[in-house]
Amino acid sequence: MGYEIERKFLVKDERYKEQAFASSRICQGYICSGHGRTVRVRIRDARGYLTIKGPSTNGGLSRYEFEKEITLDEAEHLMQLCEPGLIDKTRYLVKSGQHTFEVDEFYGENEGLVIAEVELNSEDEPYEKPDFIGKEVTGDKRYYNAHLRLNPFTRWERK
């Protein structure tokens, strides 16, 4: 718990699936979100989590995060309190150098969107990008899960 520091990227192709050492299905909802703060309920495979995040700082690179594991039953009940719009995705874990990239493939109204994140210990910590990493979108609020539930990827205007 404390501050999370992460960089976020678009993914160019599906090579992450071949390189992944694990994957899990995630469904999450938001009890409340606004002013950069969120209270999230997540079911990851058969485990529940309650997460509170503060506003982003340093151009979206870091933010306060508190996470607590809760029972699956508690998570299922809390999902009933969530604001409209659930996030459904598969998370793939890919090792690259000393880091693990979390690659999220979205479903439903966010179908077609694939984002990779890497957590760092400091904002200037070096890391090795896997070959499937594309454009960096750190700090771009459109790619925050809380935003995607209200403004799904399939509704974005393509230019």
Q: Which residues contact 131 (CB under 8 A, 6 or more apart)?
A: 15
For residue 9, the cross-strand partners are 116, 136
List, by residue number, the catalytic residues. 30
Rounded (5°) CA angle 33-25-154: 60
CB 10 within 8 A of CB 137: yes
